[in-house]
Structure 1
């Protein structure tokens, strides 16, 4: 895979916020499961376990590291910085997404981080976005993630009908060298925004080439949609 632990570490909080990339999120109240007594959540158990950028192996991190990350989370979306462009093109890249059953034939553009350190997104309703620093190239055997608008400026976006794409349908990604990679939809699910696990979506299915498509859905509340439609697909052939 072309992703690296260094890239993953560099974009730690940008990736964590990808669920809100086209749409801003909002907090939710604690559930009974979250307040019930029991073992500490996995995130707390792993609080002091990091990842060595050079080897990819687990490594111990100290309170100073955690304090700095907490500060970054607190300042997320508030501190302006220089935008980070996507990595330079090395050979082929994704050119187009085609979902014949939905009438989608969309160009795919590469994105990096915006001026607030968030994953950048298309500024139109016709383009699908791909972040090559955190997502694999089709044909590399890894996980490819694409996001696009449900609507933009009051008009239907690329993924306006994504929630109607059923398991068993197919779509394709075409590269700039003309290669066509076809995928079979295995599930289409609407998730509450707060329940989105971006790490899992970006990682894909272990040992299998996969594609994840995501857009907003549900009700428009407090400036954002409260659900995300997630389509999972696996490679054909």
Structure 2
């Protein structure tokens, strides 16, 4: 199901109002411990503040596969992988099967959004941890576009324990288990909770949610999926 919307919001099966992408995916990204702030936004959002330097990618050790080719988390250790770019995201519970595009910080000093003309595309912050590395990997996608529902339309309906599989360029599949799905007001976004660095490999999936404010041309909330790397296998 789509994120909760008022009667003034675009319906899941209808195109979003003209110009809705101006601020459709606008969220703060704080690199805790580095004193940096990045803002993820859709095309056309205003730029605020000075462009920060991107956070350094986390250095991680390769997981040691078991005889079956799969590495599982144990009480004393968590799986992790060396750096490798993601190529495809699969979330069976909500029928997501989408390719990746890298996202970077634009001239405005804010993190660019995935192209709005492709409804089945997700982006990852290319200067942060890649999915499976030690640290927090950031993946974002549209809930809708001007042409209708998009890749993360049903993100808010994910349940704890759901599987998120990310295929990587090195041929491995990083399988994440959902811990929680939370909704935060954009006016009071918990930067540190969402973006703080972690000692294990974690994932954040982010999209818009809540009511759609036609005047502001923006959703009021963000939906954030918190997940941890559960296993690693060959693709």
Say whether the fold is shared (TM-score over 0.5): yes
Which residue in the other structure is 1:118 paired with? 110
Higher helix share: 1
- TM-superposition CA deviations, 1:103-147 (whole Å, max 9, x none): 1011111121223221111113211111122x2112322211101
**Could you tell me how far apart the structure 2 residues matched to 1:78 and 1:142 are?**
27
Q: List 4+ stretches of structure 1 deviating above 6 A.
A: 78-81
Instruction: For residues 11-53 of structure 1, give each alpha carbon's deviation from its aligned partner in whole angstroms, at most 9, with x where no partner exists.
Output: x34x1x23xx23899xxxxxxxxxxxxxxxxxxxxxxxxxxxx
RMSD: 2.9
TM-score where L is the length of structure 2: 0.63
Residues 167, 142 of structure 1: CA spacing in aligned structure 2 closer, same or farther, 3 A cutoff? Answer: same
Unaligned runs of 5+ in 1: 26-75
CA–CA distance in 2 between the matches of 1:111 and 1:156? 21
Residue ranges of structure 2 left out of the alignment (5+ in a row) = 1-30, 58-81
What is the DSSP-based 3-state SS (H/G/I as helix, E as strand, rest coil) of the residue aligned with 1:168? coil
Counterpart in 2 of 1:104?
96
Residues 1:137 and 2:107 aligned together: no
**Greater CA radius of gyration, 1 or 2?**
1
Task: Name the SS of the counterpart of 1:236 in structure 2.
Answer: strand
SS of residue paired to 1:234: strand
Whole-Å separation in 2 of the counterparts to 1:108 and 1:171: 14
The answer on 1:215 being equivalent to 2:207 is yes
Total equivalences in the alignment: 167
Q: Which has the higher contact order (CA 8 A, sep 6+)?
A: 2
TM-score (norm 1): 0.63
The structure carrying a bigger strand percent of its residues is: 2
1:23–1:224 CA contact under 8 A, matched in 2: no
Quote the residue 1:77 is aligned against: 47
Distance in 1 separating the partners of 2:49 and 2:163: 41
Structure 2 vs 1, CA of residues 181 and 191 (structure 1 numbering), >3 Å: closer, same or farther? same
